Structure 1
Amino acid sequence: MASRTQEELEDAYYSEANTDMRNHWYPLIASSTLTSEKPLGQHILGDPIVMYRDPATNEAITLVDKCPHRSAPLSVGRIMDGKLECRYHGWQFESNGVCSKVPSNYKIPANAKVRKYPTTEADGFVWVWPGDLDRVNQAPKPAIYFQTQRDWVQRSGVEVLDIDSSLLNENFLDPAHLPFTHETTIGKRSNSTVMTVSCEFIDKTSEGFGIGIEGFVSQPERPDLEKVQQKFHFIPPCIVSLDFGGMGDQTFYCVPTRKGHCNFVYSQRFGFLQSAEKFFLGRAMLNWYNPQYTRKILMEDYEMLKGQQERLAQGANAMNSPVPADLMIKTFRNWWRKVMKREDGGPWFTGFSSDMEDILLEGVPRRAVGGKGKVVKTGKDKVAETA
């Protein structure tokens, strides 16, 4: 297949298919944090979900975090006898979302079930598919994106942030903030000079990803810094990858859990840590130090992004006086606007449907239902009308 022109790639970058945020696999949590002992509440694109491991198969399970009985959160429930149990009235659910036990009733309502989300594990993370079920089998298998495939030391983790995913994506595509925001960690004020940022569209569909952008940063007044070429990738819907000229390769997934919140999923490879990895003490130090140092850098960003988010909520503009160094941010934000417009406010959860509101009456003789608020007894079937 012939390679596409930049004009064709630009059209594809802003296309309906490339701005569809629902039909993607998202790495949501680290596999090591999911157990068969306690359910875990999460969100993906605003959808409230509950996650746990099936005790019988060790499979990662994701269901809607709402009991079909009284809409209580299943994530505050328990794992009992291998099933997810609602802590409100003890209803139990199989791993496919179907209710298998109602302690207070002989019969189980036929439609007492909750939606199950496709879930899998890869590269140390649990991935969830919030999109159309009929499209999941056609999607590429999930895998962490990297610009390089060198045999480097790899470290990964997840941080839960009350920061919108769009702001975090922009932050990682902003090379000009490094000397100032991260002056005490990875940045130096002395490295701040005029920047030349170039940006082009790239096609990563053959690798199982989409149409994205590739940015290069140059500092013509500092030829000593030109030895390490910084290369940035943004791959929709939420991947930012940084390549630091052979020293390291980092991938960040700014997973949109809900509006104003995201899970920061990171996977980093460092070539210069190979020698330390060979020794037991070196491995122990890396396992502790890398997450701690990553968190310290992230918290430097957090302080700025939290304040920015508060001001945007008060009506401020995301960008007022753009400069050439903002080119990657502008290209990302143009894509983000397309996302928000395509579904009348974006891909966010809009509320539960009323399809299952009357499940208490399912399978119960209609003659058992009396007047408003009246309890009618009919043998072993008992029901109180609450309408």
Structure 2
Amino acid sequence: MFIKNTWYVCAWDHEVPHEGMFARTITGIPVLLYRDSTGAIVALEDRCCHRGAPLSVGRREGDCVRCLYHGLKFDSSGQCVEAPAQDRIPPQARVRKFPVVERHRWVWIWMGDPGRADPALVPDTQWLDHPDWRSQDGYIHYDVNYLLICDNLLDFSHLPFVHPGTLGGSADYAAARPQVERIEGGVRITRWAIDTEAPAFAKAVKTWPGKVDRWNIYNFTIPAVLLMDSGMAPTGTGAREGTRVDAAEFRGCQAITPETANSTHYFFAHPHNFAIDQPEVTASIHQAVVTAFDEDRDIITAQQRSLALGPDFKMVPFAMDAALSQFRWVVQQRLQQEAAEEALQAAQAGAQPVHIVRPAPQTT
């Protein structure tokens, strides 16, 4: 159902406290997050191996966690190190530990094979804490399947219709045909609208003498991470050729993380590199994005309800769906690859050689 061997965003750094604990479900698995005495984040399955009670309703004891159902104590590796009235602790008494990377304000977790968790594979989101950029943290919870949100983000033609007063812009922006390219693990979308009206959220924080040339260039990669170079500059000043004069530039960072089959965590920020000494500008941009994403949630949630009533409904593809269709194909390919790998491992485990012990020859 979900890709396992990949990095998912599971929290903003400030959500994981230096004291206490934080719980969040990722790809259908309950996860407990806390910081040890060095400040490093520990991620354990939030389910005691004894009777399945959540460890998150237990208590911290130094770098350990005690389950408050039967008192089992687990260290930061997930191993049970103490069980009341039990002299011997079974070695299999442990909870799963997940690899974690904390980088540029996001906490990333690897839900698959720990041996394949390469930190070098974590996407670069340097704009979230770069001194030349400003943004505010964003989080929205959706009661929909994560792929419906991916579809929405991969098709910007909806902006003038769902977001006319925020991110949308004029109708000609919807008609701008994007260029879609396949990249490793996803797609790249390049979209230009020349000589168009600036969207409302940009007009609220910056002024231009006339119309603008507007761009959205972004990579959308597994599991569902959008990193976008977007902005606008006065028409005819060379933005499309690489010269950005009097431009409003943004570096959107968005991560869509499945909670369950029908619920999703959405982490986002919209860093900008102009007026960075004016917090009111950052707040205005953030609020416009939040309002727009709430508009997205309304239509996508209505879509989810509609689709749930018609499980046999078949969507009719249009040219505007090129990017989302390609991304869904990439996801399906990865799921099939992981399923094949798991089947092979299971087959190999079941084909272990059988050692026959023969009785020693009798001596006379």
Task: Name the TM-score, length of structure 1 as normaliser.
Answer: 0.71
Report if the CA contact (8 A) 1:201-1:212 is conserved: yes
Report if the CA contact (8 A) 1:164-1:256 is conserved: yes
Aligned residues between the structures: 312
Match of 2:179 among 190, 198, 202: 198
* C-alpha distance in structure 2 between counterparts of 1:195 and 1:71, whole Å: 53
Match of 2:112 among 120, 123, 131: 131
Match of 2:22 among 19, 40, 51: 40
1:314 correspondence with 2:303? no
Superposition map of 1:64-75 within 5 A: 64-75=45-56
* C-alpha distance in structure 1 between counterparts of 2:259 and 2:21, whole Å: 17
* C-alpha distance in structure 1 between counterparts of 2:287 and 2:65, whole Å: 34
Identity across matched positions, percent:
27
Provide closer, same or farther for how the CA distance between residues 188 and 117 of structure 1 changes in structure 2, counting only shifts above 3 A.
same
Match of 2:69 among 88, 99, 109: 88
Report if the CA contact (8 A) 1:249-1:269 is conserved: yes
Task: Name the TM-score, length of structure 2 as normaliser.
Answer: 0.75
Provide closer, same or farther for how the CA distance between residues 344 and 266 of structure 1 changes in structure 2, counting only shifts above 3 A.
same
Superposition map of 1:1-387 within 5 A: 21-54=3-36, 56-137=37-118, 139-140=119-120, 142-145=122-125, 151-188=132-169, 190-191=171-172, 193-202=174-183, 210-218=184-192, 227-245=213-231, 247-274=249-276, 277=277, 282-283=278-279, 285=280, 288-316=283-311, 320-342=315-337
RMSD: 3.2
After TM superposition, give the deviation of residue 67 of structure 1 in Å.
0.6
What does residue 206 of structure 2 align with? none
Report if the CA contact (8 A) 2:222-2:331 is conserved: no
Q: With a CA cutoff of 8 Å and minimum separation of 6, indicate the structure with the bigger relative contact order.
A: 1
Instruction: Name the SS of the counterpart of 2:120 in structure 1.
Output: coil
* C-alpha distance in structure 1 between counterparts of 2:140 and 2:59, whole Å: 25
Deviation by residue 1:209-261 (Cα, 9 ceiling, x = unmatched): x4432222355896997722222321222112232245212121112232122
* C-alpha distance in structure 1 between counterparts of 2:282 and 2:212, whole Å: 31
Amino acid at match of 2:151: E
Report if the CA contact (8 A) 2:270-2:286 is conserved: no
Q: Which runs of 5+ in 2 are unaligned?
A: 198-209, 232-246, 343-364
Instruction: Name the SS of the counterpart of 1:227 in structure 2.
Output: strand
Deviation by residue 1:250-306 (Cα, 9 ceiling, x = unmatched): 1211122321222212232212333xx2xxxx33x4565554443222111001111
* C-alpha distance in structure 1 between counterparts of 2:213 and 2:2, whole Å: 38
Report if the CA contact (8 A) 1:193-1:222 is conserved: no
* C-alpha distance in structure 2 between counterparts of 1:90 and 1:268, whole Å: 44
Instruction: Name the SS of the counterpart of 1:273 in structure 2.
Output: coil
Provide closer, same or farther for how the CA distance between residues 190 and 211 of structure 1 changes in structure 2, counting only shifts above 3 A.
closer
Report if the CA contact (8 A) 2:192-2:213 is conserved: no
Amino acid at match of 1:260: N
Report if the CA contact (8 A) 2:48-2:55 is conserved: yes
Amino acid at match of 2:227: S
What does residue 14 of structure 1 align with? none
After TM superposition, give the deviation of residue 339 of structure 1 in Å.
4.0
After TM superposition, give the deviation of residue 184 of structure 1 in Å.
2.6
After TM superposition, give the deviation of residue 164 of structure 1 in Å.
2.0
Report if the CA contact (8 A) 1:174-1:328 is conserved: yes
After TM superposition, give the deviation of residue 317 of structure 1 in Å.
6.8
